[in-house]
Amino acid sequence: MADSKEKNRKFVETIELQIGLKNYDPQKDKRFSGSVKLPHIPRPKMKICMLGDAQHVEEAEKIGLDWMDVEALKKLNKNKKLVKKLAKKYHAFLASEAVIKQIPRLLGPGLNKAGKFPTLVTHQETLESKVNESKAMVKFQLKKVLCMGVAVGNVSMEEKQIFQNVQLSVNFLVSLLKKNWQNVRCLYLKSTMGKSYRVF
């Protein structure tokens, strides 16, 4: 963190928790996936898009959130390239009840494949609270390789906040593993441009 302050980067660096696993065979063992909400938002600038009905589109405009309505989604015409581009542009998606059911029909499996299927937002909750909740979520997903990384903070946060986020993330990940800590080979913390530090 001191490094980042000294070098005065032009952006707030994200701190990533990098995990190496052992005694795990992605071919045979169950590939796990799970999300957990962190106490502090790791990436305040995380890009989110609302796939909304009229009411949610109006709410999104009020809080300066990018949005698309059903008409805009129809225009993508299930084009794989366009859907992939959309998935790349945002970290996460939210969707109204009326829209979420239509996503597979409107967009095909693209968002799902990218691991970015939208989170449901009802009209009983405020869009702003849902956006903040999404920003605080981290997802652990084992694919074909035995390493993964999740954002757990940024260099402008207090050390205590980063510690709380890291602690919760690690404990949650360990709970997903077959043999818990015995499956953890190493843990590193690394800021976007900084060196990585081994913590386990």
Euclidean distance between CA atoms 13 and 153, whole angstroms:
9
Parent domain of 171: 2-32+142-198
Q: What's residue 8's pLDDT? A: 59
pTM of the prediction? 0.84
Residue 72 domain flag: yes
State how many domains the chain has. Answer: 2
Residue 41 domain flag: no
Question: What are the C-alpha distances in Å from 120 to residues 44, 51, 92?
Answer: 20, 10, 12
Which CATH number characterizes residue 174's domain? 3.30.190.20
Contact 93, 51 (CB under 8 A): yes
**Do 170 and 188 lie in a common domain?**
yes
Rg (CA), the chain: 18
**Do 152 and 175 lie in a common domain?**
yes
Residue 42 domain flag: no
Tell me the per-residue pLDDT of 139-190, one tens digit each, with 9 for 90 and over.
Answer: 998 888 899 999 999 999 999 999 999 999 999 999 999 999 999 999 999 9
The upper half-sphere exposure of residue 180, i.e. CA atoms within 13 Å in the direction of its Cβ, equals 2
Q: What's residue 31's pLDDT? A: 84
Provide the residue count of the chain: 200
**Do 89 and 21 lie in a common domain?**
no
**Do 125 and 156 lie in a common domain?**
no
Q: What's residue 9's pLDDT? A: 61
Regions in the chain scoring below 50 on pLDDT:
2, 4-5
**Do 112 and 80 lie in a common domain?**
yes
Which CATH number characterizes residue 129's domain? 3.40.50.790
**Do 59 and 127 lie in a common domain?**
yes
DSSP H or E segment with residue 169: helix 159-176
Q: What's residue 144's pLDDT? A: 84
Residue 61 domain flag: yes
